[in-house]
Amino acid sequence: MTPSVTILTLALALAAPWHSLATSTTRRYTLKETYNYQNFFDKFNFFESRYGTGNYNDVDPTWGYINYRNRADAEALGLIRTVGTDVYIGVDHTSVTQYPGTGRSSVRLESKQTYNKGLFIARFSHLPKPVCGTWSAFWSTGDPWPQGGELDWYEGWNDQTVNTPVLHTGRASEVGPCYLSNDGQTSTVTHANCDNYGGLWENHGCTTKATQADPWGSPDGGIYAVEWTDDYIKFFSWRHGAAPPDIASDSPDPQRWGTPSVLIANSLCDINRHFASQKLVLNINFCGAAGLSHIWGESCRGKTQEEACGNYVARNPWAFKDVYWQIQGIRVFA
């Protein structure tokens, strides 16, 4: 049963509309770094699947039916490119593959820079279409994992209709407890204990379900932001046109943005103990969690008439034509 925790003291502070006056606790943010079409791929390492080592973690740490390609191969295969002033990151949607065997080609990017606190704003002009067999995510993770924490800002699999942000932390017995509460956020908590080993199964973490206002899977893209301080971590998301007016400025003020979609409160989770030195990760995986029997069976087994996720992904490349990111940019403020 999910623990129930209440944060009464945060309710008023988090209810302020965008147009309210800034409080004395307003943090002044300054633009420090920009990822855009001119430098995007230079600022990331490409995780490359290594088959033949006997250790599937060398192929994919999350056990997907996948073949992550290096930069040169990804460019040659058309998995990455610039589109005007946007960045495109997609998957192989033309080749029939063999399952079991080498998985479908995709890209997993991990930022060269690591971050400790700040404000992160990512703007997308297209988000990956939710399709059976896919597992798309935009997230950050510390090292070692899970002791360094993980913040899954955008995550989901198969044909789900909403974003399901997740947090992972180390063992509570070693690094202390971390919980989420429904108070002070718009997303619904579906499992409150963030201990990576204290969930419904190992690697579960604490899970949430975003509202329909989140632009999950939108072909028009959307905006995702994370504010990380000593006192809290907040996730925000908006469809284009619904974002705060200062979102594109060089000095945005999150205090004016209203209630976040997810709130990690220091009173329930020691921020500085659980989250540090996070690298940004952006990827599109196949199967893995999406192919677990109980998850695949929710709708995709019947919809695809395939017993195994890998069989569907291998035989139906055309299903993944619209499974891609198109990114306007990521900006980092401190």
| pLDDT tens per residue across span 61-81 | 999 999 999 999 999 999 999
Mean pLDDT of 172-178: 95
Active site residues: 150, 155
Q: What does the pLDDT read at residue 11?
A: 32
Q: What does the pLDDT read at residue 198?
A: 82
Share of the chain above pLDDT 90, in %: 90
> Are 110 and 30 spatial neighbours (Cβ–Cβ below 8 Å)?
no
> Are 178 and 274 spatial neighbours (Cβ–Cβ below 8 Å)?
yes
Q: Tell me how far apart the alpha carbons of residues 322 and 41 are, in angstroms, rounded to a whole number.
A: 21
Which numeric CATH code is attached to 33-333?
2.60.120.200
> Are 284 and 88 spatial neighbours (Cβ–Cβ below 8 Å)?
no
Q: Is the pLDDT of residue 122 over 60?
A: yes
Token duo for residue 90:
């997609």
Q: What does the pLDDT read at residue 170?
A: 96
Q: Provide CB contacts within 8 A for 85, sequence distance 6+.
A: 36, 37, 328
SS3 content of the chain, % helix, strand, coil (to 5): 15, 35, 50
The residue type of 185 is: Q
Q: What does the pLDDT read at residue 25?
A: 57
Token duo for residue 2:
């999910």
Mean pLDDT of 234-254: 97
Q: In the chain, what are the domain boundaries?
A: 33-333
Q: What does the pLDDT read at residue 5?
A: 34
Q: What does the pLDDT read at residue 10?
A: 30
* pLDDT tens column, 8-31: 233 323 333 333 333 335 688 999
Q: Apex CA 52: angle with CA 49 and CA 55, to 5°? A: 75
